[in-house]
Amino acid sequence: MSELLTSSTVDLYRALISQSASRIATRFAEVGRPSSGASRAELQTLVAAVDLAGPGVGASHAIREIDELFLEHAVWFHHPGYAAHLNCPVVLPAVAAESILAAVNPSVDTYDQSTVGTLMERRLIETAAGWVGFESGDGVFTSGGSQSNLHALFLAREAAIATSDLTRAEALPRLVLFATASSHFSVGKSAFLLGLAEDAVIEVGDDGEGRMLPEALDAAIAAASADGRVPMAVVATAGTTDRGVIDPLASIAEVTVQRGLWLHVDAAYGCGLLVSRRYRHLLAGIDRASSVTVDFHKSFFQPVSSSALLVREPRDLAAGAWHADYLNPLENEEPNQVDKSLQTTRRFDALKLWSTLRAIGPHGVGDMFDAVIDLAAEASDLVEEDPELELVGRTQLSTVLFRVRPEGVGTEEQDRLVAAVRRVLFESGRALVAKTVVDGRPCLKLTLLNPQTTLDDVRIILGTVKDAATTLAGIDDELGVVGAKA
């Protein structure tokens, strides 16, 4: 029997989906830590042992195996012990919509493949553009913030070339963009992919905590122009990945408007503020941007992928339009979203956000983001008050950067403990934290994105961190192996 989803296999569909739902439900009810802690060697052996060349074991058996392999060893972002990266627990209406999507399998590249889906996506784009303050903005859903940033900088590049009196070949090596050292790595990568010069990303000074200084920006633009370079865009970050701080958007917009420059706001992390009742003011000035990246799969609690690029001027998107006779010929009047996207076949990710907004409303999402912002502030206080811990700056969103300092441990050893502690925790599977480097020194990072995580949960993570550090510092005294483990 064919195991495709067709009208003759609806019973199999029901059975498989309920089998999957029941496996997932059991895991969610019973999972006791964010990951199994199995070693890579163990996992490699389990993965290699699966026969992918044979005739198959049947769908039900395959799902059972996935439960035993994937779900057994998955990383659980909903678990309060997960506090590493910008992965969020997901809202249920979005999960349900995702399973609908998978079954229907629409693609929103052309209208004739998606019809009402295209119109729903466009309505959501208008809604999100409205949250930003773009009166008649446009945009498109993308695979993620990195793609949105690449797309935005591509549009900025095209606009800069069009308005300069240089040819494309003359302009390319001269184009420059401005961002701080804390901007996301996809900014530098985009400049590379867009064929800009190696020194095209000009680093703008910050306030010591990662926020761009508008005066430094203005001076950097003037210096680059005097140098014969062609300023193309300014990338401001609304929620830096590590510190969770927000560039002063209104003052930056003053500079970009004055200089006639494209302002791109990377709000991949901070976009949840758009629907916040209490913290929306942190994004003041975002409406003056030319383009904005929003990652619904970060602060809107959506399953990956769900992200969008929004633009203030709909015509700006036309720079990426390309035509194919079979798909979107020039004379076609249907609203083909492929004209606006870098992708062709594209997921109808908008459906998940749609079901979320209908289920709990934008403020329902915003309240959840507010809760993790408040939690991070309280967690920062906890760290600050603890003599065994050292807080590394304050966030405006939901990260907590810190180091451990067991008694009698100096700076150098403190730095070495960062990687060692993270690894011990990772291998235990009990609590997952991240590590990063701030101002040249390593530190641990909690990214809090679970509105149900309590301060007591954070206390438990911090306790685990301190225990690991104390043990490692002891080992270090006797054997000197912390550095080796790191």
Ligand X SMILES: *Cc1c(COP(=O)(O)O)cnc(C)c1O
- Residues lying near ligand X in the complex (CB under 6 A): 86, 144-146, 149, 184, 186, 237, 239, 241, 266, 268-269, 295, 307
Residue closest to 301 by CA, chosen among 379, 356, 346: 356
Work out how close the CB of 457 gets to ligand X at its nearest, in angstroms, rounded to a whole number.
Answer: 23
261 in Cβ contact with 221 (< 8 Å): yes
* Helix, coil or strand: residue 164: coil
Query: Cβ closer to ligand X: 110 or 148?
Result: 148
Query: Cβ closer to ligand X: 393 or 429?
Result: 393
Query: Cβ closer to ligand X: 113 or 237?
Result: 237
How far is it, in rounded angstroms, from Cα 424 to Cα 471? 10
DSSP structure class, residue 68: I
Query: Cβ closer to ligand X: 134 or 269?
Result: 269
Work out how close the CB of 86 gets to ligand X at its nearest, in angstroms, rounded to a whole number.
Answer: 5
Query: Cβ closer to ligand X: 84 or 468?
Result: 84
Work out how close the CB of 275 gets to ligand X at its nearest, in angstroms, rounded to a whole number.
Answer: 18
Query: Cβ closer to ligand X: 186 or 450?
Result: 186
How far is it, in rounded angstroms, from Cα 379 to Cα 368? 17
How far is it, in rounded angstroms, from Cα 243 to Cα 380? 12
Query: Cβ closer to ligand X: 184 or 445?
Result: 184
214 in Cβ contact with 252 (< 8 Å): yes
Cis peptide before 305 (omega within 30 of 0): yes
Query: Cβ closer to ligand X: 77 or 111?
Result: 77
Q: Which distant-in-sequence residues (6+ apart) come within 8 Å of 297 by Cβ?
A: 88, 144, 303, 304, 305, 306, 307
Work out how close the CB of 430 gets to ligand X at its nearest, in angstroms, rounded to a whole number.
Answer: 25
Work out how close the CB of 241 gets to ligand X at its nearest, in angstroms, rounded to a whole number.
Answer: 4
Query: Cβ closer to ligand X: 64 or 394?
Result: 394
Work out how close the CB of 199 gets to ligand X at its nearest, in angstroms, rounded to a whole number.
Answer: 22
How far is it, in rounded angstroms, from Cα 435 to Cα 429? 16
201 in Cβ contact with 187 (< 8 Å): yes
Work out how close the CB of 187 gets to ligand X at its nearest, in angstroms, rounded to a whole number.
Answer: 8
Collect contacts of 359-367 with beta carbons under 8 A, ≥24 apart: 359/91, 359/92, 359/93, 360/91, 360/93, 362/131, 362/275, 363/275, 363/277, 365/91, 365/272, 365/275, 365/300, 365/301, 366/272, 366/273, 366/274, 366/275, 366/276, 366/277, 366/280, 367/276, 367/277, 367/451
Work out how close the CB of 21 gets to ligand X at its nearest, in angstroms, rounded to a whole number.
Answer: 27
Residue 3 amino acid letter: E
Work out how close the CB of 238 gets to ligand X at its nearest, in angstroms, rounded to a whole number.
Answer: 8
Residue with the shortest CB distance to ligand X: 145
182 in Cβ contact with 438 (< 8 Å): no
131 in Cβ contact with 362 (< 8 Å): yes
